[in-house]
Amino acid sequence: MLKDDHSKIRIKRREFVKTTTIAGLAVTIPGKSLFRQDQETINGWYERLADALNKLPNSFPRTKSNIEITLLKKIFLPEEANLAGQLAGKAEPVNAIAQRAGISEEETASRLRTMLNKGFVWGNATAGLFRLAPFIVGIYEAQLEKMDHELAHLTEEYFDQGGVEIMRPQPAIHRVIPAQSAVKTEWIMPYDKLREHLISCNTFRVRDCICRKQQDLEETRKCSFPLHLELIFYTGKESSDPPVQPYVTKEEALAILEKTEKIGLVHTVSNVAEGVYYVCNCCGCCCGILRGITEFGIEKSVAASNYYSVIDADKCQGCGTCIERCHMKAISSKEDIALVNRLKCIGCGLCVTGCPENVARLEAKTEEEVVTPPKNFAEWEHERLLNRGLA
């Protein structure tokens, strides 16, 4: 069920979006092909791209207002939309794509390499294999450096008008990783050992959270959490040379992980057991995925961890710290004693890491309750397509 209360949407955003939608090409950066094609043809390219994105496992819901077309025109040049709309979720060789698009192989390869660098497509330029990237997680996150006032408003309006339905199909796009200091090492699931996985890598990057950046540009941010907290980690080529910026050291990456648990942010990663290479450190007021729960009523917009919070009622001092730190509003107070609503608890462990009396803890769910994430991204995509009736 979509959010009915749009009171947070300022008049200036609605008027702004109305203006840009009427303007049509006002949000389209002219490309060479713009002057060789009529507007109806160009609009058709964006329609085809929107449909292609919606056929991917992640989905890209269409809306009654067609606001998503205006959003895509802001992001893609016309010729990029034309080519991207020819792609699907399976990597294909350049010659097959070129033949379908009616463009020379050389030109197709050149355009795809550029689009790969922009985050519009995924693939291997050396092998000459490319596929369409999903909107979330993918194209949207690639707009971090280009996110501006206009794009922030268009994205928010798209979510409000139905785009948030991206979060509804299962398996969820992201899953919650419990705060590492809140889980007993003897029974933590292998795929939840985020700290161990991070330590095993040798290359680390940190970048701004695009969700908080978007909220800042909209001037609607409700929190004061830092921007520069998204961690990317992987095993790169071994080298005796120190990594160059914007890379950080392993020690710095671990310090950021610990900092996010201390200040009260939820770890979320791709909803897979293998192949995790980034961790978002999220708040319930900015994160598009957590807002699926906190604002839009999509209970499973994120996959909860396989743990749940327990607070010792006999020792609770009723300080309210856990209530303040819970982004899901899963903890309330009765007679100055904190109570956990297990139906709302996502097992993030922030109540544990913040409790000054050490009376909160995480417990492992029963074997019947445990939900194992898909093994890898390919398995996740297959399950998602099945559940959407597209496979």
pLDDT tens-digit profile of 117-172? 999 999 999 999 999 999 999 999 999 999 999 999 999 999 999 999 999 999 99
**Average of per-residue pLDDT values in the chain:** 91
Helices and strands in the chain, H and E counts: 14, 13
Query: Domain boundary at 135, 163, 191, which?
Result: 163
Residue 237 confidence (pLDDT): 76
Residues 17, 147, single domain; the answer is yes
DSSP E strands in the chain: the ranges are 92-93, 121-124, 129-132, 174-177, 203-208, 228-234, 247-248, 266-270, 278-282, 307-311, 331-334, 337-340, 360-364
* Spatial distance between the Cα atoms of 21 and 146, rounded to a whole number of angstroms: 20
Mean pLDDT is lowest, of 135-139, 172-176, 241-245, for 241-245
* Spatial distance between the Cα atoms of 323 and 331, rounded to a whole number of angstroms: 5
Inside any domain, residue 25 = yes
Inside any domain, residue 5 = no
Query: Domain boundary at 122, 148, 163, which?
Result: 163
Are 283 and 265 in contact by the 8 Å Cβ rule? The answer is yes
% of the chain at pLDDT higher than 90: 86
**With 50 as the cut, is the pLDDT of residue 9 above it?**
no
Q: Which domain holds residue 199?
A: 168-387
Residues 378, 319, single domain; the answer is yes
Residues 349, 369, single domain; the answer is yes
Residues 77, 193, single domain; the answer is no
Residues 175, 155, single domain; the answer is no
* pTM for the full predicted model: 0.90
* Spatial distance between the Cα atoms of 326 and 308, rounded to a whole number of angstroms: 13
Residues 154, 280, single domain; the answer is no
Residues 157, 278, single domain; the answer is no
CATH at 310: 3.30.70.20
Would you tell me the crossing angle of helices 149-160 and 210-218 to the nearest 10 degrees? 100
Instruction: Provide the 10 A C-beta neighbour count for residue 80.
Output: 23
Residue that wins the pLDDT comparison between 302 and 239: 302
Query: Domain boundary at 163, 178, 197, which?
Result: 163
Q: What are phi and psi of 177, to 5 degrees?
A: -105, 125
Residues 192, 337, single domain; the answer is yes
DSSP state of 22: H
Residues 60, 153, single domain; the answer is yes
What is the per-residue pLDDT across 208-220, written as a single tens digit (0 to 9) for each? 999 999 999 999 9
Residues 148, 172, single domain; the answer is no
**With 80 as the cut, is the pLDDT of residue 225 above it?**
yes
Number of domains in the chain: 2
Residues 148, 180, single domain; the answer is no
Residue 28 confidence (pLDDT): 42
Residue 1 confidence (pLDDT): 38
Residue that wins the pLDDT comparison between 26 and 173: 173
Mean predicted confidence (pLDDT) in 43-52: 98
